Homo-oligomer: A and B are copies of this chain.
Amino acid sequence: MQNVLYNHKFMSGFLSSDELEAYAPAVAQAEKSLSAKDGLGNDYLGWLDLPKRIGKDAVSAINDKAQEIRAKADVLICVGIGGSYLGTKGAIEFLSPTFEDLRKPRVIFAGHTINSDYLTDLLELVKDKEVAVNVISKSGTTTEPAIAFRIIRQWMEQRYGRKEAAARIVATTDPVVGALRKLAKEEGYAAFEIPADVGGRFSVMTPVGLFPMAVAGIDIAKLLEGAVSAYDFCSGESIEKNMAGRYAAVRNILFRKGYTTEVMATFQPQLHFFCEWWKQLSGESEGKDGTGIFPAGLDYTTDLHSLGQWMQEGVRNVFETFMILKNTASTMAVPKFEDDSDDLNYLAGRSFEDINDKAFQGTILAHLDGGVPSATLTLQDRSETTLGQLFYFFQKSVALSGYILRVNPFDQPGVEAYKKNMFALLGKKGFEKQAEALLGRVKDSF
């Protein structure tokens, strides 16, 4: 069953069927390159078929370890940044109760920021709770997670002793080399493998995302099945059939016309963090060589009372994709009040979802009238199947979109720029020359 549906028919005033037709060959070519693995960044195509290839044994091993952790921990501290953080958090927020302290066990993230106050508060929060840790890093030397893990490892060893701490720490890292693999061997941490041919932002359906999701109680087999079921409507050279290709084409056409920002608009707070995952996937894949759509997320109706004004009447360099959830987990109706002081009895008995749906329809029509090309992405429900399809749809789509844009959607050369500066300023060995020039620029300035 197809739980994710992209519909661009409302864009007709901004994008003709002829224009879309003209992009069909580019989509077909991009599909061919992905299948033949002869395009840019073709060392990083492992994600393409991983949901099918991963295999039952690997899934069982993840679930077994997750069950063990669930049995003894109230909290899993998940240490990671970027692709080792955003997708997992997006999945948990989408599939779990809205408030963190209703989740059992609760997954709390660390190592995604450099902040004493955050870590101090985190250790205060877990001081009376049973804790396990999942540290995720291909190399084990990325600054943010590595220094956070030093604090957390020390805390775990003080609290539980070195041996029991090791039994509560799970590493997700390179299969063979790297600092974290070495440490895991020495300390006896359980360890999962990050496939060599999958980049960080495409890793949510590897053990990187699957293990902490399983600890959070997510059915990861269902999630992977969902992703596999998306192959069908996200593949092929026909733009009618290939929904990921159609979305990629629409984005490129609009971008070429000067719509340089894409707003992903949700109508459910539970989708907020999924959009953060999408922002990395999209921005890091396409934002290079002076090109690439700027991805932004808005949470409606909240943000209709914030950036709604700008969306309606601001600069017309933005297009919008509305992510709509058809079925919520629960439902509530507006109660009838005798006094009707707020004049809202006309809504009595109607569900919040019905009202939210009318807010969505009202908004997309208003934005179209205001000059914003808008499309919809409808999700069936808050289920693993839907989420698996959604992950795969966006992964496939951004790969095609990058190829259409003629960039390498699988590298991120620009991320090194600030790191090199930071290493130089921190006095790391090997960066002495750079340091001198930078210190001159910094002096007297900050």
Contact = CB atoms under 8 A, between A and B. Distances in A.
Interface of A: 7, 9-10, 81-83, 85-86, 97-102, 108, 112-122, 124-125, 140-141, 143-144, 146-147, 149-151, 154, 179-180, 182-183, 186, 200, 260-261, 267-270, 276, 279-280, 283-284, 286-292, 294-296, 299, 301-302, 304-318, 324, 328-332, 334-335, 337, 339, 341-344, 346-347, 350-353, 355-363, 365-367, 369-370, 376, 378, 382, 412-415, 417-429, 438, 441-442, 445-446
B101 A101 contact: yes
Contact of A310 (B150, B276, B294): B294
Contact of A291 (B314, B359, B428): B314
A424 B362 contact: yes
Contacts of A267: 114
Given A147-B347, A341-B179, A347-B426, A117 B98 contact: yes
Contacts of A100: 99-101
Most chain B CB neighbours (cut-off 10 Å) among A83, A121, A341, A413: A341
A329 to B, nearest CB: 5
B334 A314 contact: no
B179 A361 contact: no
B312 A147 contact: no
A334 to B, nearest CB: 5
Nearest to A297: B296
Contacts of A146: 342, 344
8 contacts: A10-B445, A116-B331, A119-B352, A186-B341, A289-B313, A309-B412, A311-B414, A363-B422
Given A307-B287, A310-B287, A125 B102 contact: yes
B334 A315 contact: no
Contacts of A270: 115, 117-118
Given A10-B445, A261-B261, A332-B119, A356 B114 contact: yes
Copies of this protein in the assembly total: 2
Given A421-B363, A426-B347, A290 B315 contact: yes
B426 A308 contact: no
Given A124-B97, A343-B179, A260 B317 contact: yes
A402 to B, nearest CB: 12
Contact of A151 (B115, B294, B332, B361): B332
A334 B294 contact: no
Closest CB pairs A-B (n = 10): A287-B310, A82-B305, A362-B421, A312-B414, A287-B314, A362-B422, A280-B306, A366-B417, A283-B310, A313-B414
Contacts of A414: 308-313, 370
A128 to B, nearest CB: 12
A9 B441 CA distance: 11
A337 B98 contact: no
B334 A147 contact: yes
B101 A312 contact: no
Nearest to A352: B116
Nearest to A120: B330
A279 B311 CA distance: 12
